[in-house]
Structure 1
Amino acid sequence: MTPIPFQKELIVKKEYLDEQNHVNNLEYIKWILDISEAHWVAKTPLSIREQYAWFVLDHYIQYKRQAFLGEELILTTWIENYSTVKSERCVHITRKADGKTIVEARTNWCFIDQQTKKPARITQELVKPYFEFESA
């Protein structure tokens, strides 16, 4: 089973910067959440998204380099692994110009039922669009 990565690009805008003129750490957290949601929306039917959701359990973020105004960044995400009700998603943010890593993040998520707000079972059907499965 191999994760299928999902990507999007963005250009660093002035409103993303802090007083040091580099991207504010809070922006990276927003981007991690944004690309995670975009991946979910792109790969999961509306009927499932209306019934289920993901809650963040924790984030682990390593800030490797700074990013500055006008730089093009590539955000890449994939599901690293999953269990009965949890999944671990990775997000890497790189600078397009030189391929250097800006941020590496891992987020643990809990899959929940929208009605009950309780954990729900992650099924094979649910994860199938996110992985390439080797045939036996």
Structure 2
Amino acid sequence: MSTVFDLEITVQPCHIDSLGHVNNVIYMQWMQDVATAHIETLGLGLKEYLELKHAMVAVEHHVHYRKAAFEGEKIILRTWLNDLNALYSFRQYVFYRSEDQAILFTGNTKWACVEIATGRPKRMSPTFSQAYQPITEQLNPLDFSNLYTMVVEQ
């Protein structure tokens, strides 16, 4: 069963653009980073993808930049799965700054299951569909008084 997953990062100088805040492209990279960290905890990282000969690839992103982030700030990158069918999983993201209790960014991604060798769509194997379960309705992923599986980036 999947759950809400948190990755804490500190904004680095390389994340900052010429306007002095985190560049919008970095948020996309953080989406990838937190999704990758989450699937690793679910036991479906790159090694398992290669063994199973199929993988999940991003096919659609929707993003909403709400507030700027700045160098040195600690940010919680939160993700969870909210839907699943035979070919697609749907992942949500919220990036949060605890210092002022601000939601900086929200987004979602539609991920497709594909055969690695051909890049063609493939129905998810039971290994995938069991690991990529949506969170239960009892969890409120927007409640940051609860921290979930937390990884702190070094």
TM tier, smaller? 0.7 to 0.9
Deviating runs (4+, > 6 A) in structure 1? none
Gaps of 5+ in 2: 138-154
- Who is 1:120 aligned against? 122
Q: Percent identity?
A: 26
Where do 1:41-120 residues align within 5 Å?
Answer: 41-45=40-44, 48-50=48-50, 51-120=53-122
1: CA distance, partners of 2:44 / 2:132? 13
Supply the RMSD in Å over aligned alpha carbons.
2.2
Q: Which has the higher strand share?
A: 1
- Who is 2:19 aligned against? 20
What does the per-residue CA deviation read over 1:63-111, in whole Å, with 9 as the maximum and x for residues that have no partner? 0101011110000111110111111111110002132100000111111
CA contact (8 A) 1:66 1:102 kept: yes
CA contact (8 A) 1:79 1:88 kept: yes
Gaps of 5+ in 1: none
CA contact (8 A) 1:72 1:95 kept: yes
- Who is 1:7 aligned against? 6
Report the count of equivalent residues: 133
1:124, CA displacement in angstroms? 4.5
TM-score of the superposed pair, with normalisation by structure 1: 0.86
TM-score of the superposed pair, with normalisation by structure 2: 0.77
- Classify the secondary structure of the residue corresponding to 1:97: helix
